[in-house]
Every structure is written in C-alpha cells, then in structure tokens.
Amino acid sequence: MQTKTYICQNCACQEFISRPSLYDIFEHQEGKLVFVKSEIMEEKIELFCRECSEKLDFDQTDLTF
Ligand SMILES: [Zn+2]
C-alpha cells in the first residue's frame, strides 16, 4: 500500500486545522442570553492549512484521533 503524504501544496506546511463545526447556541430569555446547547453543524471534517488556509484534499479514512 502506498503511503500518502499530506503536505500543503501551497506552502509545504504539515499542520492542518479543522473548520469550527461545534457551535454553542444561546437563546434570549427575559433580558439574558441563556445557553441552550452545543450543536455540531457538519459531520464531515474539512482541513485547512494552518499557515495559508489552503484546503487539504484527504481521505476521511486517514483521520486518526
Ligand atoms: Zn499552506
């Protein structure tokens, strides 16, 4: 099996950040903003170069936590 190399095509950076997909929802209640819940907006993770924000093409199956 071929080992893939994940590196930014633009600046050669090897660190990538995900787009924020977790949102805290607050609701107006009697003059206050009350925390309701956290919600995940997308299930699919997208990664972007930490240095230049270039989008990275990668296989979801290569994500390792
Ligand atoms: Zn880059």
Q: Residue 24 domain-assigned?
A: yes
Distance 29 CA to ligand 1 centre (A): 43
Give the E-state strand segments of the chain in sequence order: 16-18, 22-29, 32-40, 47-49, 55-56
Mean pLDDT throughout 51-62?
A: 93
Least confident of 11-20, 40-49, 56-65: 40-49
Residue 30 lies in a domain: yes
> Would you say residue 1 lies in a domain?
no
Q: How confident is the model at residue 1 (pLDDT cuts 50, 70, 90)?
A: low
Distance CA 39, CA 36 (A): 10
Question: pLDDT tens digits, residue range 17-36?
Answer: 987 777 889 999 999 999 99
CA of residue 36 to ligand 1 center, whole Å: 36
Output the CA 59–ligand 1 centroid distance in Å.
18
State the burial class of residue 14 (Cβ atoms within 10 Å of its Cβ: 0-12, 13-18, 19+): exposed
Question: Which residue range forms the structural domain that includes residue 39?
Answer: 16-62
Look at residue 5 and tell me if it is in a domain: no
Residue 25 lies in a domain: yes
Global pTM? 0.62
How many structural domains does the chain have? 1
